[in-house]
Amino acid sequence: MVSRRRWFDRQFERGLPPEAFTDVLERIRGTPSRLEERVRDLTVESLTRRLGERWSIQENVGHLLDLEPLWSGRLDDLGAGLDELRPADLENRKTHEAEHNQRDVAELLVEFRTARLSTVLRLETLSDEQVRRTALHPRLQRPMSVVDLLFFVAEHDDHHLSQISELLRAFA
């Protein structure tokens, strides 16, 4: 199988037209269902098993939950007209310290679905003007609109869903 790209090596399409908003929003809306489908019926052992130093399936789930406040905060930044979006913790300390493998995956999934639904409902209320606003992404050093941010989040979601699939194949 073709190897995956490393997240931090990625460059992202930017300058997506405002008309792409609803399509990308659907990707964001669908992540909880896709995530639930991937982990349904897995044993605790399968969910919490690590491959070397890589996160377990359950830690990948927890990481998606951990980043919802960042995405929401970046929407705040765009809404406030800031020049630059807040930075991410590139060390992912929150995920490393959260001990997601000690939790019930069902609780993580419910929390993620709730947080993501809150984000989606908020996005659905944005005006055309708000969707067009831009601010500099601190790591990529490129301006991002709301549509670009949604695309970035959707790609991040898919990256972790892909990691989960890769772990499932490795442990099959």
- DSSP state at residue 159: H
pLDDT tens column, 133-149? 999 999 999 999 999 99
Other Cβ atoms closer than 10 A to 121: 10
What is the reported pLDDT for 172? Answer: 83
Q: Higher confidence at residue 72 or residue 10? A: 72
pTM for this entry: 0.92
- Please tell me whether residue 112 adopts helix, strand or coil conformation: helix
**Burial status of residue 108 (CB atoms within 10 A of its CB: 0-12, 13-18, 19 or more):** buried
Other Cβ atoms closer than 10 A to 157: 20
- % pLDDT > 70, the chain: 92
The torsion angles phi and psi of 128, rounded to 5 degrees, stand at -60, -40
pLDDT tens column, 65-101? 999 999 999 999 999 999 999 999 999 999 999 999 9
d(C-alpha 68, C-alpha 4), whole Å: 23
